[in-house]
Structure 1
Amino acid sequence: MTKAMADRPLRSDAVRSRKLLRKAAAEAFAEEGTNVSIAHIAERAGIAKGTVFRHYATKEDLVAAIVCQSIDALVETGERLEGITDAGKALRDFMTEVIEVQARDRAFCEVATGIAHDQPAIRAGTERLHAIADALTDRARRQGAIRADITGQDVMLLVSGIYQTAAPLRSSHPQLWRRYLSLTFDGMQATDAAELPSSDADH
């Protein structure tokens, strides 16, 4: 959606159409991922396909708007968790929330694994999400709740890895990722372990 389209006041019927569109798009993207068609979303919302493009100039703009809602909610969660005294619990709760979103939202999961990062809004949102991960990780390090060589980048890569590890058994064991989160966080707390290799070490 262009800035002019975003700034244009909406009539009441247009407001209603946008609400229906965003709800249908959020549900469709969560269930089927970013490859779902605009025609399917429009049908699900009970609006004409052309109406979709009156609100969002491209499908990519619609994807960005919906995914950024999830990113913004995670950033808000992370900011709230910064106020928790126990920094280790705050970090684990944040990791749990990120994986839960991946588990229920295929579009967000695709973005988390690197798809659609060419959208400026998604890039900006991802940067905010990584920034809050850095802040929570730094607090946990300073409190001695995790080993001193773990970074926010490690945390964000780990949460994607944890979900992807359990994903093949998602249909039969939808909560399996919690097992691997526990295993991972136990390892993150191993403060007497050998130093990790550098993140830019040669392979």
Structure 2
Amino acid sequence: MNMKRVFKVHGFNVEDGGAATIDNTSQYILQAGFAPIDFDYGHLGLVGVVLFNHNLGQALKSQLKPGDCVVAHSNGAAIAVRAAELGAQIDTLILINPALKSDYVFPKNIRKIVVYWTKHDKPVKISRAVRWLTIGMCKWGAMGATGYTGRKDDRVTNFDMSNIIFGHSEALQPEQLKLWFGKSLVSKLRSDA
């Protein structure tokens, strides 16, 4: 029997392929009974995000199969939703401090969406300015600091981490994963609701 696949998509400002952030979730994805798959796209500057996120979304779409899940951090969220906009079927999309517009309308071909956010996430607050400067070419916004605030969507679950997480990538650090976030991630991946 094949294990269900979970693609891990890191943020834009990393030079380690997500080793110090999103890759820390691998053991928890395995615990949930899923196969973790890295979607590494290298380091992008702000201009790179505007120029390449569309192509990266296409590349992710080409690797996804129906039933696959995605765990994305920061700019990884923008890449994951771009893949869905292009037609990728995503079973469960887990967004950790997503750099997305807070009222983003998720494509219908995503079955379940979980948004982990903290009001202390300064980088995603700043990312709103990038969207304005790029005349909307970039989907960035402050969802990682506000949660999903769009119209009612029963597929979306907001998880406010503001009382325990005080930074943009803090939930992905080994200590936080061991204390609570790893268990939460496992339960969200396993849950059919």
Q: Do the structures match in fold with TM over 0.5? A: no
TM-score, normalising length from structure 2? 0.29
Higher strand share: 2
Q: Which has the larger helix fraction? A: 1
Superposition TM-score, scaled by structure 1 size: 0.28
Return the index of the structure with the highest Cα Rg. Answer: 1
